[in-house]
Structure 1
Amino acid sequence: MSYLFPTYARWNITVKEAKGSWVTDIHDKKYLDFVSGIAVCNLGHANDDVMAAVQEQLSKYWHMSNLFHQPIQEEVAKLLIEHSDGDAVFFCNSGAEANEAAIKLARKHTGKTNIVTFLQSFHGRTFATMSATGQEKIQQGFGPLLETFTYLPYNDTEALDHLGTDVAAIMLEVVQGEGGVIPAQQEFIQKVTETCKRIGALLIIDEVQTGIGRTGKPFAYQHYGISPDIITSAKGLGNGIPVGAMIGKSSLISTFQAGSHGSTFGGNPIAMAAAKATMTKILNNEFLNEVEEKSNYLIEKLYNIIGNHPKIKNIRGKGLLIGIECNEQVSEMIDQLRENNLLVLSAGPNVIRLLPPLTVSTKEIDEAVEIMNQTFAENKQSIIAH
């Protein structure tokens, strides 16, 4: 019997410990982890630098109300501002909360309520972020959603032509993660930014999964040469310690004055210590260049070793967020990979999603690709046998 709501389709793995790119279960079986807590543990499990920073903060104090000045919040906010196009930060505890803050800020600042998002997007599971998400399966059974969200086809430039000046913001992921690991086309992103200017709407970029080095840049939008009004971040920000952030431009600061928004635990000093240590490690050119190199290495290995398998349609992504699109559902394949000691995710029914820690070694990449090659071969043989 479990005392938990069964809201997760849990795997048959009970974790005993995890370090770096590896997870060990209670039976001492070791798994190469290309999930990373769903793009959370970008520095790998139990990173020494993050652990030391958290332990140091624990010895000082654990929590204070946000009525108090806490210098570590300013230090973390400064790091985010230095590596983005923003000017001010609001701290919270998750990606959904960061997106909630972005939606509230956009509506309050513009005085408009309509927000445009895209089909197959994912922005969270609170009522506002669920309403913003362009997937019916996320919304089913919860009754009427917020009515002011419009969903357009992703990467469709012509669909943007029909938007009018009643739109408060256009909100999107530049790489749709849950929706299938689909990178935005440069032409589409350019059209989105032009449309925002034309209709007087804010541009919100959801970087919850793609931010903090995951794609080889501090934020994925920086691959496209654009300057969003609002950026949201969470998953990779604290390397496993819960933390989220909404980053906005200076023109928005006057809209979020005292009393307009808040979070009891937002900016918690333990989370700030983890975020500071995480970003200090990741947000430098040498580290990010290594992410790009590892990405190129992994994609080339995938193409060379399993790219011609009849089940595989496409391999795509940015940085170390990679999708392997198959011509059938991948749930059984993911189960087989897990049996063969490799942890991966799906991104929709037909895409295997790879999210290794950014610290993954080329040896570990080789091992992961070999497990995939072996598993695809086993699957092919079982089909022949049938």
Structure 2
Amino acid sequence: MLSHRQLFFEHVAQTSTDPLALEIESAEGIYLYASDGKKYVDLVSGVSVSNVGHAHPEVVKAVQNQAAKHMHLMVYGEMIQSPQVRYAELLTSELAAQLNTVYYVNSGSEAIEGAMKLAKRATGRSGVVAFRNAYHGGTQGALSILGDEVLKNAFRPLLPGITHLNFNVPEELSKIDKTTACVVVEPVQAEAGIIVPDTSYMQQLRARCDEVGALLIFDEIQTGFGRTGKLFAHEHYDVVPDIMTIAKSMGGGMPIGAFVADKQLMNQLTYNPALGHITTFGGHPVSCAAALASLEIILRDELTQRANEVGDIFRQKMKHPRIKNVRGKGLFLAVDLDDVFIPDFMKYAAENGIIFDPFLFNSEAFRIAPPLIISNEQATEIAEKLLGLIDAFVNKHV
């Protein structure tokens, strides 16, 4: 009989030529456990998914309870389901007044697609402004606004009418004009290497959109649910978007996404035509139950504050001659290394029990984004181990 490893490479579609290919049997808290018994520290959180930790007992219980009641009933939007309405009530109670209506989908890419459609429908315009080195997903619309040509060229033609600006450069905001339906922006650029914009820039962006009648869409797919030390990253700038997209940590480990807007704006998808946006599995009740439990945990246990406290520990501890910079907000951090090949260092760290990942558009840094439940003691221990691994790796490759 073929092993799981053999089956993985034989029958599971691969996204890269060199996956880590660790066979994980279980996960709990901040740790992953391989089939050979080896324990790994997770500094990735499934790319900002497992904010409340792996297999949080309250999330697991919510999934089990809802699965025993009912799973899929009908295409999204047709039946009243308790997990959907309870989650929407709690989420919107934590947001600005104009972010009061939730459209459920299945993933971040779908949330981006729905948000762009809504902006075009509401404004009657077709132009979309996005930013270089931004990542928004892999579907064709999301790929069209993704800010890297290497990942896009093989799939052209993509959507027309896309303008890319340089991030955090206010002089370019004049390119947003009356042909622009929407501006799609990450409040902290993730795959560029955790690039935090100036508050004044974000406020100028909001003002420019208001001036020309373009809708402002914040992609909070990676930055949401406490990751940056606020429930949502746009709170750092005192700026509210017209539409917000969410996914990843929304489901506490279960697949779900959404875009959020004002009721009057969202209703544009209800008529001319009806079913202006539709999804079969969006708002799946089991995923919504997990999302509700996850958000309750984040709020009750003040995990946004935990992100700030533990993030400060990493910033203070991660000092080394090869570390040029540690930047970010909360537990959304990038560590810039000098003259260290990140892919090789990532494999070396994995061999020694720490999982982190590189950035798509920054080859000189790696990500620190563990579950927000991580303790101060764990953070200190991990930071010290990382410093030791840098020393050992550099000495090995001299």
Give runs of ≥4 in structure 1 deviating > 3 Å: 284-287
Residue 366 of structure 2 corresponds to residue 352 of structure 1: yes
* Match of residue 202 from structure 2: 189
Please state whether the residue corresponding to 2:154 is helix, strand or coil.
Answer: coil
The CA deviation string for residues 316-338 of structure 1, in whole angstroms up to 9 with x for no partner, is: 01111100112344111111111
TM alignment of 1:67-82, pairs within 5 A: 67-82=78-93
TM alignment of 1:232-271, pairs within 5 A: 232-257=245-270, 258-271=274-287
Q: Which runs of 5+ in 1 are unaligned?
A: none
Give the drift of 1:186.
1.0
Residue 19 of structure 2 corresponds to residue 5 of structure 1: no
Aligned equivalents of 1:143, 1:286: Cα separation in 2 = 44
Contact 2:84 2:288 in 1 (8 A): yes
* Match of residue 331 from structure 1: 343
The normalised TM-score by structure 1 is 0.95
Residue 331 of structure 2 corresponds to residue 317 of structure 1: no
Contact 2:118 2:266 in 1 (8 A): no
Give the drift of 1:379.
2.3
Aligned equivalents of 1:331, 1:286: Cα separation in 2 = 34
Residue 235 of structure 2 corresponds to residue 222 of structure 1: yes
Contact 2:313 2:380 in 1 (8 A): no
Contact 1:313 1:326 in 2 (8 A): yes
In structure 2, the CA distance between the partners of 1:161 and 1:377, relative to structure 1 (3 Å rule), is same
Aligned equivalents of 1:298, 1:317: Cα separation in 2 = 11
Q: 1:15 aligns with which of 2, 9, 24?
A: 24
Residue 379 of structure 2 corresponds to residue 371 of structure 1: no
Contact 2:136 2:142 in 1 (8 A): yes
* Match of residue 277 from structure 1: 293
Residue 104 of structure 2 corresponds to residue 95 of structure 1: no
Aligned equivalents of 1:141, 1:162: Cα separation in 2 = 27
Aligned equivalents of 1:152, 1:243: Cα separation in 2 = 29
Aligned equivalents of 1:366, 1:335: Cα separation in 2 = 22
The CA deviation string for residues 232-264 of structure 1, in whole angstroms up to 9 with x for no partner, is: 100001111000010012330331214111110
* Match of residue 116 from structure 1: 129
Q: 2:157 aligns with which of 141, 144, 156?
A: 144
Contact 2:176 2:209 in 1 (8 A): no
Contact 1:212 1:283 in 2 (8 A): no
Please state whether the residue corresponding to 1:351 is helix, strand or coil.
Answer: strand
Aligned equivalents of 1:140, 1:6: Cα separation in 2 = 19
**Corresponding residue pairs, total:** 379
Aligned equivalents of 2:189, 2:356: Cα separation in 1 = 17
TM alignment of 1:280-291, pairs within 5 A: 280-284=296-300, 286-291=302-307
**Superposition CA RMSD, Å:** 1.4
Aligned equivalents of 2:21, 2:275: Cα separation in 1 = 45
Letter in 2 for 1:31: Y
Q: Which moved more, 1:63-72 or 1:164-173?
A: 63-72
Q: 1:53 aligns with which of 62, 83, 98?
A: 62
Please state whether the residue corresponding to 2:377 is helix, strand or coil.
Answer: helix
Letter in 1 for 2:350: R
Letter in 1 for 2:12: L
Letter in 2 for 1:173: E
Letter in 1 for 2:60: M
* Match of residue 129 from structure 1: 142
Please state whether the residue corresponding to 1:24 is helix, strand or coil.
Answer: strand
Q: Which runs of 5+ in 2 are unaligned?
A: 1-5
The CA deviation string for residues 22-41 of structure 1, in whole angstroms up to 9 with x for no partner, is: 11111111111111111101
Letter in 2 for 1:355: A
* Match of residue 63 from structure 1: 72
Aligned equivalents of 1:376, 1:109: Cα separation in 2 = 51
In structure 2, the CA distance between the partners of 1:267 and 1:20, relative to structure 1 (3 Å rule), is same
Aligned equivalents of 1:44, 1:284: Cα separation in 2 = 15
Please state whether the residue corresponding to 2:116 is helix, strand or coil.
Answer: helix
Aligned equivalents of 1:35, 1:227: Cα separation in 2 = 28
Letter in 1 for 2:323: I
